[in-house]
C-alpha cells in the first residue's frame, strides 16, 4: 500500500487485550473452516466406501420381497434372520468356513516360518548359488497363477494328493513373495547384532530364533496379513484341486451357492456378510499391533 | 623399543596375519604381541584394515594367512564364543527386544551360568557402570552414553581375557566422548584386562593407549608408545597422520659438495649428524613439528624469511600458516599471546635437533649419533 503507515501510538493494556482477543477469534474461525472442509471430504469418501457394504448387510436382513420393494427400506426393522438360518443350517457354510480357516491358518503359520528362515538365509548366509536362487525367486514372482495351474494340477494329482488338505496347503507355500519380503526386512538389521550374538555363543539357528525373529515381528505381521487374506480369498486353485464337498473352501462354496438354487439375493448377501467376519477379526486384531510396532520401530532409528 | 610390555607371555599374538577378499589384500604381514593388561590402540584412517583386524581376532572373519594366538592357544579355528574375548561394537549392537538386564545377562545365560550367578554378575557390572537405575529399561529408552555403558557392561560380565573395542565412542557427541574416554581409562585400570581399541581418532589413541599400532593400507606402519609415535614417526605417513596440525614436510634433495652434505630445498641446510653416511644423494624430505618451529629475530643465524597467510586462534595456541621464500607451506604453532597477524613477514628457525629426515621412500632416517 502506498499509504504511509503511522507508527502506532503507545498501546495500553486494554488495547493489547483487545488485539489478542481479535487474533484468537480469527484463529478459531480459520480452524473451524478448515475442519469443516476436511470433514465434508471425509464424509463423502466414507459414504462411497460404506454404502455398498451397508446395502449388502441390509439385503441380508430382508426377505425376498422386501429386497425389491421400492423405495428401499434403509433400516432393516424388523430384521429378518431367515437368510442366515438358511445359510448356516441348510448349506455347507460352516464346513466351508472351517476348511478355509484351517487351510489359511496352516498356510500362514507354515509360510511365516519357512519364509523367515529362507529370508534369513538369503540375507545373512553366504552360500554358493545364492544369487541364482534369489533371481529364480524373483522370476517366479512374474509368472501368473494361470500359467501354473495345469503343471501344478498334474504335480498334485501325480502325488495322489487331489481331494486332500495337503493339496490346498502345499502349493501356496512355494510362493516366493514372502521370502523376498523377509529378506528385505532382515537385510535391514545391523550386521553387528549378529556378530554380537555369535560372540555370545549363539549358533545360526539360535541367532535366527532368538535375535532375528523378535526383531522382524512387524514384518511377520505384515506377511501374515498378506498370506492370510490371500488364502482366504483364493478361488481358482481350491476350485481345481478339490472336488469333494467336504473339502470345499468358502470362496468356492459361496460361488456354488450362486450357481445352484436360483437367484436368492438374501441368502447370497448373508453369505457375503458371514464370509467377511473372520477376515475382519483377523485384520482388526493384527493391524493394531502392526501399526503400533511399526511406528515404534520407525522412531527408534 | 618398548620392553616393559613384552616380558610376560603375550595375551594375544598375531603372526604374519593376512586377510584378503578375492584378490584384494586388506591386511598383510601383521605381527604383533600384546601383553596381558595392555591397552593397545589400532589407529589409522578409514579403510586401513583396523576393524577387519579386530574382527579377525574376534573370529568374526576368517583368516587368509598367518596365525592368531589368544591366551597362548591357537585361535584360528576357534568359534568366536570360544576365544575368550568380548567385543564392544561401534553402534553398540544391543538387543533391542531385551531389557538392559537381559542384555547384560544374555552372554552368561547362553554359556549356561546359573541364574543366581547371572543375577549377581549383572548387578555388579551395572553398579560398576552406574546402570543400576536402568536395568529394567529397553535400549531405545536410554541415552547414547547409557547405551554405550550397557555395551561395555555386556563385555565386562563375561570377564574375558581381552576386550575388543571397535570405535566405541564414535557415535557420541563431543562432550560425552571426552567423558567416556576418561571413564574407559578408569575402567581399564580397575578391570585390568587386555584391551584392543580400534579408532581413527588420534586423540583417543594418544590419550588412552599404552601402545599405538598405526595401520595404513593393510600394513603396520609403526608400533610404539604414544610419545614414541609422536616424537619419532617411522615414516612420512605416521608423521602426517599423528599430530594436529600434522608435521611439516619440506621436500628437497641431499647433495654432497666438497666433503660436506647438504639438504637443498627451499633453503640449504648442512646435514651434520642428521643423515648417516649410508644415505646416498637423492630426493629427501625434512620434517618438523609445528610447535618446534621457532619465531626469531631477523639477525639470528639460520633465520628464514616467511610470510604469514593465516592465523587460527584455538584458545591457548595459535596455528599459523606461513610460506617460505619459495612458497613452501609451513605450519607453526605458537603461544596465543604471540603478536602475529595475517600478512606479517617473520623469520623462523628450524632447530636442527628437532628435524627429522625421511628418505626417498618416505622412511625415517636414523640420526648418525644416537
> Looking at beta carbons, which residues of chain A come within 8 Å of B59?
198-199
Nearest residue, CB atoms, B110 vs list A193, A202, A214:
A202
Nearest to B97 among A202, A214, A299 (CB): A214
Instruction: For residue B300, give Cα distances in angstroms to B294, B295, B337.
Output: 11, 10, 22
Q: Which residue has the cell 487351510?
A: A103
Of A190, A198, A299, the CB nearest to B81: A198
* Cα A113 versus chain centre, distance: 19
Specify the pLDDT at position B91: 87
Determine, for residues A196 and B97 on separate chains, whether the beta-carbon distance falls below 8 Å.
no
Residues of A near B (Cβ–Cβ under 8 Å) read: 190, 192-193, 195-202, 211, 214-215, 296, 299-300
Q: With contact defined as beta carbons under 8 Å apart, do A164 and A122 qualify? A: no
Spatial CB neighbours of B198, under 8 Å, sequence gap ≥ 6: B41, B42, B50, B51, B53, B54, B164, B165, B166, B167
CA atoms within 13 A on the CB side of B148: 20
Would you call B113 exposed, middle or buried from its count of C-beta atoms within 10 A (0-12, 13-18, 19+)? middle
From the list B80, B90, B140, the residue facing A199 with the nearest CB is B80
CB pairs < 8 Å spanning A and B:
54
Residues 6+ apart with CB under 8 A from B86: A199, B107, B154, B155, B156, B158, B160, B162, B163, B164
Rounded CA-CA distance B17/B267 in Å is: 44
Measured in angstroms, the CA of A104 and the nearest CA of chain B are apart by: 29
Show residues of chain A in contact with B140, CB under 8 Å. 296, 299-300
A296: closest CA of chain B, how far (Å): 10
The answer to whether A119 touches A182, Cβ cutoff 8 Å, is: yes
Q: How many Å apart are CA B57 and CA B83, to the nearest integer?
A: 9
Measured in angstroms, the CA of B260 and the nearest CA of chain A are apart by: 60
Instruction: Tell me the ipTM for this assembly.
Output: 0.81
Instruction: Suggest the residue from B58, B110, B171 to mutate for an interface test with chain A (most A CBs closer than 10 A).
Output: B110
Which of B55, B97, B110 comes nearest A200 by C-beta? B110
Question: Per-residue pLDDT for chain A (301 aa), expressed as one digit of tens each?
Answer: 455 566 666 778 888 999 999 999 999 999 999 999 999 999 999 999 999 999 999 988 888 788 888 887 888 778 888 889 888 888 888 999 999 999 999 999 999 999 999 999 999 998 999 999 999 999 988 888 788 889 999 999 999 988 899 999 999 998 899 999 999 999 989 888 999 999 998 999 999 999 999 988 888 988 988 899 899 888 889 988 888 888 888 888 888 887 776 778 888 889 989 988 888 888 788 777 666 555 444 444 3
Contact A225, A59 (CB under 8 A): no
Q: What is the DSSP letter of B253?
A: E
Asked if the Cβ–Cβ distance from B107 to A201 is below 8 Å, we say yes
Helix A165-173 with A145-158: angle, nearest 10 deg = 130
Q: How far, in Å, CA of A173 to CA of A156, rounded?
A: 13
Grid coordinates representing B316? 591457548
CB of B107 within 8 Å of any CB in chain A? yes
- For B10-63, write each residue's pLDDT tens digit: 999 999 999 999 899 999 999 999 999 999 999 999 989 999 999 999 999 999
Q: Considering only CB atoms, which chain A residues are within 8 Å of B96? A: 215, 300
pTM of the model: 0.79
* Three cell numbers written together for B141: 529408552
Question: What chain A residue is nearest to B138 in terms of C-alpha separation?
Answer: A300
Query: Does B327 reach chain A within 8 Å, measured CB to CB?
Result: no
Task: Say yes or no for a CB contact (<8 Å) between B95 and A195.
Answer: no
What's the gap in Å between the CA of A298 and the closest CA on chain B? 11
Which residues of chain B neighbour A193 with C-beta distances below 8 Å? 93, 95
Residue B107 burial (10 A CB sphere; 0-12, 13-18, 19+): buried
The pLDDT-based confidence of B370 (bands split at 50, 70, 90) is very low
What tens digit of pLDDT does each residue of A149-195 get? 899 999 999 999 888 999 999 999 988 999 999 999 999 898 889 99
Amino acid at each position: 500500500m502506498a499509504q504511509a503507515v503511522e507508527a502506532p501510538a503507545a498501546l495500553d493494556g486494554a488495547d493489547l487485550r483487545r488485539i489478542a482477543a481479535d487474533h484468537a477469534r480469527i484463529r478459531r474461525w480459520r480452524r473451524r473452516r478448515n475442519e469443516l472442509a476436511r470433514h465434508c471430504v471425509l464424509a463423502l469418501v466414507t459414504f462411497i466406501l460404506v454404502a455398498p457394504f451397508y446395502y449388502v448387510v441390509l439385503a441380508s436382513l430382508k426377505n425376498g420381497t422386501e429386497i425389491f420393494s421400492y423405495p428401499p427400506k434403509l433400516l432393516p426393522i424388523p430384521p429378518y434372520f431367515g437368510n442366515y438360518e438358511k445359510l448356516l443350517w441348510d448349506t455347507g457354510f460352516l464346513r466351508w468356513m472351517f476348511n478355509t480357516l484351517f487351510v489359511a491358518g496352516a498356510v500362514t503359520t507354515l509360510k511365516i516360518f519357512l519364509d523367515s528362515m529362507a529370508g534369513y538365509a538369503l540375507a545373512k548366509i553366504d552360500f554358493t548359488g545364492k544369487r541364482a536362487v534369489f533371481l529364480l525367486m524373483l522370476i517366479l514372482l512374474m509368472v501368473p497363477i494361470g500359467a501354473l495351474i495345469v503343471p501344478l494340477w498334474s504335480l498334485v494329482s501325480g502325488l495322489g494328493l487331489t481331494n486332500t488338505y495337503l493339496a490346498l496347503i502345499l502349493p501356496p507355500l512355494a510362493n516366493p513373495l514372502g521370502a523376498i519380503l523377509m529378506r528385505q526386512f532382515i537385510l535391514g538389521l545391523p550386521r553387528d547384532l549378529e556378530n554380537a550374538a555369535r560372540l555370545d555363543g549363539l549358533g545360526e539357528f539360535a541367532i535366527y530364533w532368538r535375535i532375528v525373529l523378535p526383531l522382524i515381528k512387524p514384518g511377520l505381521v505384515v506377511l501374515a496379513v498378506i498370506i492370510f487374506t490371500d488364502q482366504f480369498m483364493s478361488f481358482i486353485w481350491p476350485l481345481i484341486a478339490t472336488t469333494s464337498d467336504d473339502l470345499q473352501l468358502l470362496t468356492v462354496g459361496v460361488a456354488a451357492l450362486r450357481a445352484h438354487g436360483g437367484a436368492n439375493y438374501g441368502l447370497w448377501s448373508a453369505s457375503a456378510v458371514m464370509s467377511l467376519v473372520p477376515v475382519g477379526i483377523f485384520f482388526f486384531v493384527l493391524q493394531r499391533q502392526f501399526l503400533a510396532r511399526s511406528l515404534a520401530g520407525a522412531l527408534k532409528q | 623399543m618398548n620392553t616393559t610390555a613384552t616380558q610376560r607371555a603375550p595375551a594375544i599374538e598375531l603372526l604374519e596375519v593376512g586377510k584378503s577378499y578375492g584378490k584384494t589384500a586388506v591386511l598383510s604381514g601383521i605381527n604383533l604381541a600384546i601383553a596381558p593388561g595392555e591397552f593397545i590402540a589400532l589407529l589409522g584412517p578409514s579403510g586401513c584394515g583396523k576393524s577387519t583386524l579386530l574382527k579377525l581376532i574376534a573370529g568374526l572373519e576368517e583368516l587368509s594367512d598367518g596365525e592368531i594366538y589368544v591366551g597362548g592357544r591357537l585361535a584360528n579355528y576357534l568359534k568366536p564364543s570360544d576365544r575368550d574375548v568380548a567385543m564392544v561394537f561401534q553402534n553398540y549392537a544391543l538387543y533391542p527386544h531385551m531389557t538392559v538386564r537381559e542384555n547384560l545377562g544374555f552372554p552368561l545365560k547362553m554359556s549356561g551360568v546359573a541364574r543366581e550367578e547371572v543375577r549377581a554378575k549383572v548387578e555388579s557390572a551395572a553398579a560398576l557402570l552406574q546402570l543400576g537405575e536402568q536395568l529394567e529399561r529397553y535400549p531405545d529408552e536410554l541415552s547414547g552414553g547409557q547405551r554405550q555403558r550397557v555395551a561395555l557392561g555386556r563385555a565386562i560380565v563375561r570377564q574375558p581375557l581381552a576386550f575388543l573395542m571397535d570405535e566405541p565412542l564414535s557415535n557420541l557427541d563431543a562432550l560425552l566422548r571426552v567423558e567416556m574416554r576418561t571413564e574407559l581409562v578408569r575402567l581399564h585400570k580397575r578391570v585390568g584386562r587386555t584391551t584392543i581399541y580400534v579408532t581413527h581418532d588420534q586423540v583417543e589413541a594418544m590419550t588412552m593407549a599404552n601402545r599405538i599400532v598405526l595401520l595404513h593400507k593393510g600394513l603396520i606402519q609403526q608400533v610404539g608408545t604414544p610419545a614414541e609415535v609422536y616424537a619419532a614417526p617411522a615414516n612420512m605417513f605416521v608423521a602426517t597422520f599423528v599430530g594436529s596440525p600434522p608435521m611439516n614436510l619440506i621436500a628437497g634433495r641431499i647433495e654432497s659438495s666438497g666433503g660436506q652434505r647438504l639438504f637443498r630445498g627451499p633453503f640449504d641446510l648442512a646435514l651434520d649428524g642428521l643423515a648417516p653416511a649410508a644415505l646416498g644423494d637423492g630426493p629427501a624430505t625434512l620434517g618438523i613439528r609445528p610447535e618446534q618451529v621457532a619465531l626469531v629475530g631477523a639477525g639470528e643465524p639460520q633465520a628464514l624469511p616467511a610470510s604469514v597467510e593465516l592465523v587460527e586462534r584455538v584458545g591457548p595456541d595459535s596455528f599459523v600458516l606461513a610460506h617460505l621464500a619459495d612458497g613452501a607451506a609451513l605450519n607453526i604453532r605458537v603461544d596465543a599471546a604471540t603478536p602475529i597477524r595475517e600478512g606479517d613477514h617473520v623469520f623462523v628457525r628450524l632447530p636442527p635437533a628437532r628435524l627429522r629426515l625421511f628418505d626417498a621412500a618416505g622412511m625415517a632416517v636414523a640420526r648418525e649419533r644416537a
